[in-house]
Structure 1
Amino acid sequence: MAFHENLSRTQQILLAIFCFPLLPFYLCYLCFSRNDKEEDEDVHNTARAEEGRIQTISGQSRFTGQTADVRYDHQQEPVVTFQPDQRAQVFPKQTWQDNQGFSRNDEVDEDVHNTARAEEGRIQTISGQSRFTGQTADIRHNQRQEPVVTFRPDQRAQVFPKQTWQDNQGFEDDRGQGATSTGGQQGLYAYPWDKSSLKSIPLDLDQFKNLDAYASKVNVRNSVENLVDTLLQKAHSDLEKVRAIWVWICHHIQYDVEGYHDTSKRSCEPADVLRSGKSVCSGYAGLFEQMCSLAGIRCKKLSGFSKGASYKPGKVFKGDSDHAWNAVYLDGGWHLLDSTWGSGFVENSCTKFTFSYNEFYFLTHPALFINDHFPEEEEWQLLRWKLTLQQFERNAWYRSKFYSLGLLVSSAETSTIETENGKATVTIESRAPTLFLSDLNGAKEHCLMTLRGNGMTLEVYPQHTGTHCLNIFAKAAKEDKEKNYSSVLEYSLKCSSVDKGLSLPKALIQPVGPSWLSEEKGILEASPRSPVVHTEDGCCLVTITRSKNLDVFATLDSNSSHLSEDTRRRHIWTTCYGSQVEFKIHLPHAGQFAFHIWAKKTSEAGSHQCALSYLLSCSKKSVTWPVFPKTYGDWEEGYELVTPLAGILPANRQVEFKLKLPGVTDASVACDKIYPLTHSGEGFWKGFCNTSDASKVIVRASKRPGDNTYQYLLEYRVENH
């Protein structure tokens, strides 16, 4: 409180008259004082919080008790300072919104995405998470969008997802203004990446169509200078110059696999690389740097560690750097690219190089580039939140195809994952329908995959303890059926215990359960929706709605079954009602079974394709269902068998028959003699037969009145014969 507030009105007037000549000096003092304060603590980048709720009155927030000042430094990192108790103060309500960018959420009072945690000092970011110790404050918004803060006492280091800060601040492709060792101004990019683009600057690749075609066909080898002059005939802007140089190198320089293994046989000098047309990464980067220099583009050759062809999840990087790439200065900031990886790939043993242009590594967003490139100098990460080498080692390697295919994120963010109760689960989100494959230790077994419209879920059940290699592959759903899947993720899977109760059938075809893919193949609806069907008594029912003129049949497979394929099929009874198809399954024994529905358009040539898979599981050991009766070719769609369903009938018994046979004029059962069936008003054919002295029973029918020619429909076997 100012001292003059305690003076009387008369004393204040006299003081003002006396001090009036000093007013200009006082105003200057206030101006400089305010500027100093704003430089140290900008009111628009400061938020104050209390222990308890902040009361909002007339657009301002009043608080008492212990307070925390939250601001951003020049690196845009949150800095928190705690203050002792003081009298109520007032600050503008919008202060919080200016700094945090809170999104409105009226449904949840305390949503994790509307929560920010602060410490006294800077938040240390480790492997996508932030660790903090000491006194902390939890900052959130309630349903009325009022900031609410709770203080907690000192405690051990805690971890919370790093994206907590980003979700509240909002993503900005913000380029910092701090000077760096690179000279000039370096772009500092927010993390995580902007999912609308894989590039560090907005690009329309169609604008390069003619330039790319020209640059890829230029064939100048006599000097780097002449090569650059030729490329610049069609490239004018700095961006076009960089693009032309990139395209030429990616299409004309191959990786020197021989030089990789024998250093005496390789050269990284730009002139030698141009002449020979091959080099290792250092030669690629050196040639790129020199060509940019001749074109008047600022370019930097960088080195560091990489997750390349020989990388395995969990690798610890030691010693000298193993890779080189470049940074170019465009549009007021630095941008990253790797022409070595843009040109093609080598096998794991590095014995063969294949040209395969990869657009991903041209001006890649730094938040994606850091997945497999770790520079020796930290500032060349070009990230606002820097990663440590330990984080880089621990993080999962999202391969370039992961992002090129429109995949967004995996639930398993570390390179090593562990099973829990014998199972590990990986979920991947995508922008569009995507096809996936997986293998464990090179075999397509022990994995259960389900598709969603925006990704997939993979459950893995290793059958022995230890360390396993899990690979995940993907391709776009709209791509040609013949196109190969690309590797998108690889994990080291540690298994400490095995789930003996679940052993997936080797014949199980992925994905499992109804999905957009089964709909595309003609299964419009299916029940149950769950990919796994548990049955205690060994009986279950699957129903589908099929598209027009779709022919279907089903098969049953199991690792533990010694039955023939024909016998296994007879444990499925199919009934068709137009577009509706019903499959009754009676499992022959306990265990896990792969149930497949195969489909083909009647108008198309070729064989049936698997349209839908289920995993059927029965743990009851006493289950021993017999086969269904054998059907003959004259058993038509629309026919329905009510009883008997068991294909093996008891001996010396009277057995009831009930069937629906549309279009039939006469029906009977033949065993040791003929037993006629009677047509009821309900549309069923009913009757009995005696199995005495019979080895098999035949159901037959005729479609023409008075015709003694019968068609065989069903066949049963009698026990003990």
Structure 2
Amino acid sequence: MEDLKPDQSGHKQEYPLAYRDKDGTIKVYEEGKEPFVWIKDGSETTKITEDRGSNSPTSSMSSQISGTGESYTEYKKSSGSRTAFPDEEVVVPLSPVPELALPWKRRHDIMPDDMAFREIDEHAMKAPPLVKEDLSQLVQYLSSVTRTNVELVRAFYVWITHNINYDTSGYFGRAPMQPTDVESVLKTRLTVCEGYCKLFEAFCRQASIPVKIICGFAKAFGCKPEEDVTKEIHNAHAWNSVFLEGGWFLLDVTWGAGFVKAKEKKYVPRFNNAYFLTDPEVFITDHFPASVPGYSNCESGREWQLISSKLSKREFINVVNFDKHGKEWGIKPVSHIQSVIHNVENELDIVLKAQYTEMLDFIAFLYEDDRKLDQFTYTYMLSEKKVNIHICLPTTGVFALQIYGRRKKDGRRSDYQPIVKYILQCIKADEDTVPYPAYHTLYGPVEDLHSYGINEVGATYQESEEGEIIISVKPTRYVDILPKLQFGNHNVNLKEYCFVDYSDCFQYINIILRLRYEGYYKLELLTTPNDSKEFSPFVAHLIKCTKACTDGIFPTTKEYALKFKCSILEPLSKHLPPKSEVFVCVKSPIVKEMKFNDCRLKKVDSVTFEGTIKTPAEDCPLSIDACAKDGIYHTLYTYDTVIPLDMISLIPSNYS
């Protein structure tokens, strides 16, 4: 900030002017009066008691001094002595600060991706040993490649988080606590949160960037949902706020450097990008500004939440706290903002939104104590950015739900990362809860559906009350579709219970399913995407069957049925009754001639072949064959003759 000088023109000033001297002290000038010094609360300096009116320095400090929304308490300079104050007394705004300048930019605006500050990060991590113990030299080195205060603050964040470790021995009482002053921290490279914050503050002050230390309580690593962290002093914490581009931003260099495993009393150094200029509504989910005994010279007012609707202590305790990747990827709760969901009955849907990260997929697992239950959840996309996690609770009780995700940029070979954890308290559950098929990715269509030649795929979740269901797909070109049906987690071959019907002349392709068992099925539909000969899934459906089908299996479809673009209307059962008349109807725009065994079918129009044939005796194979213009016959569908079980008792003794 540029120094503000007193008016030398002799004109009467409506408001006093103020300036910050070389020691960092803000001094205020009024015409004909001594300067006033603005210092921290708690100083022994005598406070002015008389009413100075609306034109007093206090009434205009926010705008006159820095434009940051800071508010100062007024103290008169001690009589006849000092012209400035020691560093520990240098001006700090006092709580409450009624008009703090909130950040008008989002973290994503400043840091759109992981590589936004790559050169600055690399430069900070390569700082030579000779400059690491001298603050001014270190700031000079870090600033040599930066052009803005944002870039410089980034360099400070990266250097501190990669060079300073947490003093676990001192924190847990195994050794004397390391001093937290800046000189000691640079020398020992060990400190606790207060030392981290002081060092970051010193970096910023050296660069003339407005900065604050905030104290309060935090939900540290291992904190349980709805745990009241404000009751225990060991949950006290400190972090920083820095003034950039017209607003205050929040960051935590301590947690950016790693985390402490409380049970093992061990520090794990691990760079965490999530706490760099974190959006305030995200930061408040695990950092609560509050007055803490022993934390001096810190801001602690509710205004440092930096959100318009302030959270109460109880709301802070209850609010869901996303994991590192959930924060960093900008994933927000839509349906449930509290970490514990009470009074759940039978099932539940949780909706999340990925604000600016392109997500590849999500999965979720239910846990009962330490037992993993991966057959009671399924996930699907509601829209391009919103995901729905459906949970069916197997019994009453308390369950943990952990949601994971992967980014599109990391690819399908990347590991799933934890996003958020909820606690579900179930008060009512169905007696016979049926598990879902295990499926460790999203249900529904793939994102690049059009590259598979498909335009519509129908609803992701469907129910069948009669055991037979038709899934319709709308293609944009000729496609061969391969259905893959799975019942629960059973290894049952259901290939012949699926049938692909092209009778709508490719306006729609109908996949007909006969469901043998009651319960849940997973149906994957596969085809070849553009510029590929390999079949791969383009959609996954979850289907619930409440009544099993008794119609039997479909005829076996052969390769040339697809090549000739055939669709069969009758018969749609593989097992035909022996010595019986059966009506046959098949459509194809390519076939020239068609026969059922040795019986030729009549071509009734340009695409339709039909006829009535008599089946042979039991256990005889049958087939529908056809040829195109070349006259070479190929098998399209195969059948056999089987006596239905309910007819066996009626067969005469002389049947042959």
Query: Which TM-score applies when normalising by structure 2?
Result: 0.70
Match 1:379 to one of 301, 323, 341: 301
In the aligned structure 2, how far is the partner of 1:265 from the partner of 1:481?
48
Are 1:176 and 1:185, in contact at CA under 8 Å, matched by a contact in 2? no
Are 1:461 and 1:499, in contact at CA under 8 Å, matched by a contact in 2? no
Equivalent residue runs for 1:348-367 within 5 Å: 353=268, 355-358=270-273, 360-367=274-281
Residue aligning to 1:252 = 163
Show CA shifts across 1:358-407 (max 9, x none): 0x423334333211112332416514654333221111113454454344
Are 1:422 and 1:499, in contact at CA under 8 Å, matched by a contact in 2? yes
Query: Is 1:491 the equivalent of 2:422?
Result: yes
Residue aligning to 2:547 = 620
Equivalent residue runs for 1:440-459 within 5 Å: 440-441=366-367, 442-451=372-381, 452-459=383-390
Show CA shifts across 1:451-504 (max 9, x none): 112312222112122111112233444554444444332111111122356634
Match 1:424 to one of 348, 359, 368: 348
Residue aligning to 1:214 = 123
**CA RMSD between the two structures:** 4.1
Query: Is 1:594 the equivalent of 2:506?
Result: no
Q: Greater shift after overlay, 329-338 or 386-395? A: 329-338
Are 1:575 and 1:582, in contact at CA under 8 Å, matched by a contact in 2? yes
Match 1:650 to one of 569, 577, 581: 577
Match 1:343 to one of 222, 240, 257: 257
Aligned residue for 1:634, secondary structure, equals helix
Shift in alpha-carbon separation, 1:192–1:533, aligned structure 2, 3 A: farther
**Structure 1 residue 424: deviation in Å?**
1.6
Aligned length: 535
Shift in alpha-carbon separation, 1:587–1:328, aligned structure 2, 3 A: closer
Are 1:446 and 1:460, in contact at CA under 8 Å, matched by a contact in 2? yes
Are 1:465 and 1:495, in contact at CA under 8 Å, matched by a contact in 2? yes
Structure 1 residue ranges without an equivalent (≥5): 1-173
Residue aligning to 1:686 = 610
Structure 2 counterpart of 1:223, one-letter code:
E
In the aligned structure 2, how far is the partner of 1:415 from the partner of 1:192?
30
In the aligned structure 1, how far is the partner of 2:163 from the partner of 2:303?
28
**Structure 1 residue 193: deviation in Å?**
8.4
Are 2:589 and 2:606, in contact at CA under 8 Å, matched by a contact in 1? no
Query: Is 1:714 the equivalent of 2:626?
Result: no
**Structure 1 residue 265: deviation in Å?**
8.6
Structure 2 counterpart of 1:712, one-letter code:
T
In the aligned structure 2, how far is the partner of 1:632 from the partner of 1:258?
72
Equivalent residue runs for 1:436-515 within 5 Å: 436-441=362-367, 442-451=372-381, 452-477=383-408, 480-500=411-431, 503-508=434-439, 510-514=441-445
Show CA shifts across 1:206-258 (max 9, x none): 99665544333213366243434543555687666544322211233355678
Are 1:502 and 1:592, in contact at CA under 8 Å, matched by a contact in 2? no
Shift in alpha-carbon separation, 1:198–1:716, aligned structure 2, 3 A: same
Are 1:440 and 1:471, in contact at CA under 8 Å, matched by a contact in 2? yes
In the aligned structure 2, how far is the partner of 1:399 from the partner of 1:193?
25
In the aligned structure 2, how far is the partner of 1:257 from the partner of 1:570?
64
Aligned residue for 1:387, secondary structure, equals coil
Match 1:307 to one of 211, 219, 242: 219
**Structure 1 residue 543: deviation in Å?**
1.8
Are 1:191 and 1:367, in contact at CA under 8 Å, matched by a contact in 2? no
Are 2:68 and 2:101, in contact at CA under 8 Å, matched by a contact in 1? no
Match 2:556 to one of 624, 630, 637: 630
Are 1:268 and 1:286, in contact at CA under 8 Å, matched by a contact in 2? no
**Structure 1 residue 301: deviation in Å?**
4.3
In the aligned structure 2, how far is the partner of 1:195 from the partner of 1:520?
39
**Structure 1 residue 711: deviation in Å?**
2.8
**Structure 1 residue 429: deviation in Å?**
3.3
Are 1:679 and 1:686, in contact at CA under 8 Å, matched by a contact in 2? yes
Aligned residue for 2:526, secondary structure, equals strand
Residue aligning to 2:142 = 231
Query: Is 1:660 the equivalent of 2:587?
Result: yes
Show CA shifts across 1:624-646 (max 9, x none): 23110112333224111111101
**Structure 1 residue 272: deviation in Å?**
5.9
Structure 2 residue ranges without an equivalent (≥5): 1-66, 75-90, 292-299, 645-656
Match 2:471 to one of 542, 549, 566: 542
Shift in alpha-carbon separation, 1:207–1:590, aligned structure 2, 3 A: closer
Residue aligning to 2:447 = 517
In the aligned structure 2, how far is the partner of 1:698 from the partner of 1:195?
74
